[in-house]
Structure 1
């Protein structure tokens, strides 16, 4: 299968590292002009330099904005008023006992994980609809289905993305615009590596041993028995953004290593 996204503009939020960066690279490799976003100029510049070092990413451009705020979303919209592909990847998480999660914690995680996607989809969807083609994705998590007891607010925010995506797919039914969520499982991003490294140090084991212990203790239903790579997640995102995926909409697309104990 050859995926050709030449002539398409793709916005990937939270794309200076991890899954977002892998998705941006994948879309660029498929020919899309990719818009990188991040909160810090130096990280955006470094990402653009890496992308522009390849032929595929030569046209990439960046926007510095805090998309966890309404003002930040508006700054991105003003800089990039039109897009064909919108990947709502921006997200935060924090391990915290439920009884210690404050109103401010709940508000922050919903502003970043949910409202950033709401605001951007609300702006870009009408243009896609008018042109008769578009792709909107929300990067959710297997935690939307298996709400983790150690970070309930994160799981709830990801479950909200499931409902948002399905509802928006209905709003855009028959328009040529598809809307899907992508559900990664444990993925070897910079944040996850740091998290596992800290746990490994605390327990006096290697990072490799800690990764295996984490899966055994927290995600024992994993069928791949390892963390996925960001590129493995990105491969599904790139396909879902392609013309070939035109009949896939309103779906929760799993790339979680078989953790979810369900065949539906």
Structure 2
């Protein structure tokens, strides 16, 4: 059931998931679920303002030190926070430190906004994710506990089987496709108490599975183009987001990206 809530501003905090990889725009930049959600909220409220502080590759410590303070100062109606998964996917990870930093972020953001939204991150089915699944589920349990303690909302993406479908994941197997991001935007939309426009949990239509040779070729491309460079950055302490600014650092009136609609279902 739709509430009559009014949202005039939205700030997104996080890493590549919230930046919008791999929902690429014609100019090479990324859109993603947060931009889609902002477009839909802006269509309801003249003068709607939006900031997206997320930067790919950021660890939870960087999110806390670089994004949480500015986000809290913006005093937005809605703040979304997704972080910690980049830490959990590293070979060595102090999950106790991750949990502490995530709680620090929630404790600072919850009283500084109207509604704080956390997420149980989606997990692609496959062997790479299986290795890190215990850490991921530990992080999810902590998100649930923080939401209960601080009055935040939780979007359960992990509990939606469709978001584990490999067809909703890009070639790097780490980021959602445009369709995956669109479904996440609908999930957050509904969590905010707004009327559902679709069933974002609905499964994809059955499709023919690729043969063994095609799957092995895809695995080799993935290892060469994505997995190898990802491991190299982990070993050298580098990040894909080093030196990159936030995509929308200021809380400014929303304007749709050139050549794309505001993010409503069925838009170009």
TM-score using structure 1 length: 0.48
Higher relative contact order (CA 8 A, sep 6+): 2
